[in-house]
Amino acid sequence: MSDVAFKVLAAAICMAIGSIAPAIAEGMVASKAMEAIGRNPSLQDSISPKMIIAMAICESTGIYALVVSLIILFVA
Amino acid sequence: MPDVSLAPHIITTIYGWPITNAMLASLVLTVLLALVGLYARATFRLVPTGLQVVFESMTSFFMSQLQDAFGSEKRARRFFPVLTSLFIFILLANQFSVFPLITSLIRDGVVVFRTPTTDLSLTIGLAVVMIGGAHFIAFSRAPLGHIGNFIKIGPFFKVRSFAGLFDAGIGFFLGFLDIVGELAKIISMSFRLFGNVFAGEVMVLIIASISASTAYVLPIPFMVLSIFSGFVQAFVFMILATQFIAGTVGSEE
**CB count, 10 Å around CB of A10?**
15
What is the chain B residue with the closest CA to A66? B195
pLDDT in tens, A16-65: 999 999 999 999 999 999 999 999 999 888 888 888 888 888 888 898 89
Taking the C-alpha atoms of residue B134 and residue B16, their distance in angstroms, rounded to an integer, is 33
Kindly list the residues from chain A whose CB atom is less than 8 angstroms away from the CB atom of residue B191. Answer: 60, 63-64, 67
CA A29 to chain centroid, in Å, comes to 12
| Gap from A60 CA to chain B (nearest CA, Å) | 6
A68 near B CB under 8 A = no
Instruction: Name the nearest CA neighbour of A53 among A19, A18, A29.
Output: A29
pLDDT at A49: 82
Q: Is residue B49 situated within a structural domain?
A: yes
Q: Which of A52, A70, A75 sits opposite B202 (nearest CB)?
A: A70
Integer-rounded Cα Rg, in Å, for chain A is 17
Any B CB within 8 A of A50 CB: no
How high is the pLDDT of residue B252? 53
CB contact under 8 Å between B235 and A57, yes or no, is no
Residue B10 dihedral angles phi and psi, to the nearest 5°: -90, 125
User: Which DSSP string do the residues of chain B spell out, in sequence order?
Assistant: -----SSPPEEEEETTEEEEHHHHHHHHHHHHHHHHHHHHHHT--SS--THHHHHHHHHHHHHHHHHHHHSSHHHHHHHHHHHHHHHHHHHHHHTTTTSTTGGG-EETTEES---GGGSHHHHHHHHHHHHHHHHHHHHHH-HHHHHHTTS--GGGGG--SHHHHHHHHHHHHHHHHHHHHHHHHHHHHHHHHHHHHHHHHHHHHHHHTT-GGGSSSTHHHHHHHHHHHHHHHHHHHHHHHHHHHHHHH-S--
pLDDT of residue A22: 94
Cross-strand bridge partners of residue B20? B10
What is the nearest CA distance from B4 to chain A, expressed in angstroms?
7
Is B2 part of any domain?
A: no
**Residue B17 bridge partners (DSSP):** B14
Q: Measured between CB atoms, which of A49, A64, A74 is closest to B5?
A: A74
Number of domains in chain B: 1
User: Which residues, 6 or more positions from A26, have their beta carbon under 8 angstroms from its beta carbon?
Assistant: A55, A58, A59
User: Is residue A40 exposed (0-12), middle (13-18) or buried (19+ Cβ within 10 Å)?
Assistant: exposed
B1, part of any domain: no
Please state, in angstroms and rounded to a whole number, the distance separating the CA atoms of residues B232 and B209. 27
Q: Is residue B3 part of a domain?
A: no
Burial class from Cβ neighbours inside 10 Å (0-12, 13-18, 19+) for residue A47 reads middle
pLDDT tens per residue, range B77-128: 888 999 999 999 999 998 887 777 777 777 777 788 888 888 888 999 999 9
How far is it, in rounded angstroms, from Cα B253 to Cα B250?
A: 9
- Comparing CB atoms, the residue among A56, A67, A75 nearest residue B191 is A67
> Considering only CB atoms, which chain B residues are within 8 Å of A7?
none
Domains of chain A with bracketed CATH: 3-74 (1.20.20.10)
Spatial neighbors of B38 by CB under 8 A, at least 6 apart, are none
pLDDT of residue B251: 54
d(CA B214, CA A58): 31
Q: Supply the range of the domain harboring residue B23.
A: 10-249
Query: What rounded mean pLDDT belongs to chain A?
Result: 89
Rounded Cα–Cα distance for residues A55 and B197 (Å): 16
pLDDT at A30: 94
Name the strand (E) or helix (H) holding A73. helix A60-74
In a domain, B186, yes or no: yes
pLDDT of the residue at B171: 84
**pLDDT given for residue B100 in this prediction:** 75
Residue B241 lies in a domain: yes
Structural domain contains residue B43: yes
Residue B25 belongs to a domain: yes
Question: Which residues, other chains included, contact B177 with Cβ-Cβ below 8 Å and sequence gap of 6+?
Answer: none
Instruction: State which residues of chain B have pLDDT below 50.
Output: none
pLDDT computed for residue B2 by the predictor: 62
